Amino acid sequence: MSRFDADDDDVVVVVGSGAGGGTLANELCQRGIRTVVLEAGPHLTGKDYHNDEWQAFSQMAWTDPRTTSGSWRLATDFPTLPAWIVKAVGGTTTHWAGATPRFKEHEFRIRSTYSDIDGASLLDWPITLTELEPYYDQAEVKMGSSHLHGRPPLPANNNYKVFANGAERVGYRRYATGPYATNAEPYDDRPATVQDGFNFQGDKGGSKWSTLVAELPKAEKTGKLDLRPDSHAVQILHDTRGRATAVLYTDSEGTLRRQRARVVCVAGNSIETPRLLLLSASALFPAGLGNSSGQVGRNYMRHTTATVWGQYDQPVRMYRGETMAGCIQDESRLDTSRGFAGGYYMQTIALGPAFFASFVAPGTWGPDFTSHMDAYRDTAGMWIVGEDMPQADNRVTLNDGVLDQHGLPVANVHFDDHPNDVAMREHAQRQGQAVYEAVGAKRTIVTPPYPSTHNLGTCRMSERPVDGVVDRHGRAHDVPNLFVSDGSQFTSGAAANPTLTIVALAIRQAEYIAGEYRRQGA
């Protein structure tokens, strides 16, 4: 691994190594740009992973203190865990199901399409689907998305067969075992999945795309990557002109260090990214770095989610095969006759007994709880993911009353469901139950949202600086050499799982940054 000098001011510093940061780093390195990646967590690899759910969670999850407020149920069920993201090299790409649907055209134009929705801070993206399509193609090829670009589909497991047969009987037509970024056959130096049912968090085999197994090793081979695990960014410094000059971070020993930079790209997920900008307040930027609009931290989105389970009178064994083995796309359409704007996907999900016990019905005990567990072998599961409305008061702020291990204010995540979110979730729950009942479920169970894995917004793209934080390339309106490179820059959440779009935007951003380097004679 290369190591660049701390006073080298001609490097790009990327904070975070997940879908945005890890992809961006590789793309920059491939273009000959020396890149330092600061990752707050350890460098775990396949051999380190535990195939035990709670051990894996303890090993990988970002469990630094956070606080929660608002009327969402997570504030009651999981008050210290509003989000379920990874603190390790590869970020949350080492803990994801692999779904790779694209955004739809109208989801880039929500203000124009949905018009006024009371209480929602709708805004059109400053880019279009047409502009992003070439980068979607590159991202799908890079990730090996099944069903696309010649990649074969994943095999259908039992969980999917129940799901697909139910879909057919209720009249759905757009269902399949993908697209997913898990290999059905060897691809890009990654093996085929062995269908072990445990690549959701910590894929020991490496069949699922992640920046850990795909992007960062390629970047390292260029000699242009300096990857620094256990390096927690605490502040971005700037000069009197308002240009970013360096990143302060703590190393594994707790020592405060500084890395100078020509460009800084922040990809810490949609909670830690605004937190870092707010922690970087100064006399020139009293409200936080890049926050003249007051939009840093606002418009937090986490997708409208729920889980539906179907219990049967014979074995399903949902845990065999992929965790997410299929998707129903029919409800992702734009159709306001259903009583809400936007759409949603249904996707198979399977949890092991430990997680199933924890999440199937939070707060229940006694006979009702044991009835869930007794039927575990005979249970099928689906996860619902849909577009939630951006709201200005759904936001990430600093909680000065709670400090982390570095003595810094933690992030507080405030969220209230919009009435549109509630209407969508209720519709999706009914449809999910109908899918299972159509193939003979003797009981269906609806589970409330888990800690958030799709954290979006908080530094959104906007045409006008007053409306957001970054421009159409993810560059801060206020700071010309500061970029946001993760899901924080999303102007809308759309219905689709966000990882493919984060990767596509990272490829596009790297192209832009490299162009700026060439233009400036670097």
pLDDT in tens, 8-31: 999 999 999 999 999 999 999 999
Q: pLDDT digits over 306-324, tens only?
A: 999 999 999 999 999 988 8
Give the CB-side neighbour count of residue 204, counting CA atoms within 13 A: 12
Q: Is pLDDT of 198 > 80?
A: no
Nearest to 506 by CA among 461, 479, 460, 474: 474
Contact between residue 33 and residue 512 where contact means Cβ atoms under 8 Å apart: no
Three-state secondary structure of 28-51: HHHCCCCEEEECCCCCCCHHHCCC
pLDDT greater at residue 224 or residue 201: 224
One-letter amino acid at 7 equals D
pLDDT at 521: 60
Comparing 333 with 52, which gets the higher pLDDT?
333
Which pLDDT belongs to residue 307?
96
Alpha helices in 144-294 (DSSP H): 158-170, 216-221, 269-279
SS3 of residue 468 by DSSP? coil
What is the mean predicted confidence (pLDDT) over 349-356? 90
d(Cα 510, Cα 310) in Å, to the nearest integer?
44
| 3-state SS record for 400-429 | EEEECCCCCEEEEEECCCCHHHHHHHHHHH
The Cα–Cα gap between 245 and 9 comes to 8
Residue 142: pLDDT over 70: yes
Q: Among 50-59, 227-236, 380-389, 411-420, where is mean pLDDT lowest? A: 50-59
Tokens, residue 236 = 């971005």
- pTM equals 0.97
Residue 141 CB-density burial (10 A; 0-12 exposed, 13-18 middle, 19+ buried): middle
Domains detected in the chain: 12-43+84-519 (3.50.50.60)
d(CA 212, CA 391): 33
Tokens of 237: 């410094």
Mean pLDDT, residues 394-406 taken together: 97
Model confidence at 518: pLDDT above 90: no
Identify the weakest region by mean pLDDT among 70-74, 289-293, 365-369: 365-369
pLDDT band at 137, cuts 50/70/90?
A: very high
Spatial separation of the C-alpha atoms in residues 317 and 329, rounded to whole Å = 24
Q: Are 38 and 231 in contact (CB under 8 A)?
A: yes
Report yes or no: 460 and 390 within 8 Å, Cβ to Cβ: yes
For residues 120-137, give the mean pLDDT.
98
Q: Which two tokens stand for residue 213?
A: 């197994």
349: part of which helix (H) or strand (E)?
Answer: none
**Residue 460 has which token pair?**
């959104």
Q: Give 406-461 pLDDT, tens digit per residue.
A: 999 999 999 999 999 999 999 999 999 999 999 999 999 999 898 999 999 999 99
b/e sequence 26-41, b meaning 16+ C-beta within 10 Å:
bbbbbbebbbbbbbbb
pLDDT reading at 49 higher than 60: yes
CA–CA separation, 271 and 393 (whole Å)? 15
Instruction: Evaluate if residue 522 carries a pLDDT over 50.
Output: no
Cβ pair 225, 29 in contact under 8 A: yes
Residue 483: in which H helix or E strand, if any? strand 482-484
What are the helix (H) ranges across 329-391?
Answer: 353-359, 367-374
Name the nearest CA neighbour of 117 among 462, 332, 391, 496. 391
Q: Report which of 87, 89, 69, 71 is spatially closest to residue 79, judged by C-alpha positions.
A: 69
**Cβ-count burial of 366 within 10 angstroms (0-12 exposed, 13-18 middle, 19+ buried)?**
exposed
Q: Which of 4, 23, 25 is nearest to 14 (CA)?
A: 25
Q: What is the pLDDT of residues 485-514, one digit of tens each?
A: 999 999 999 999 999 999 999 999 999 999
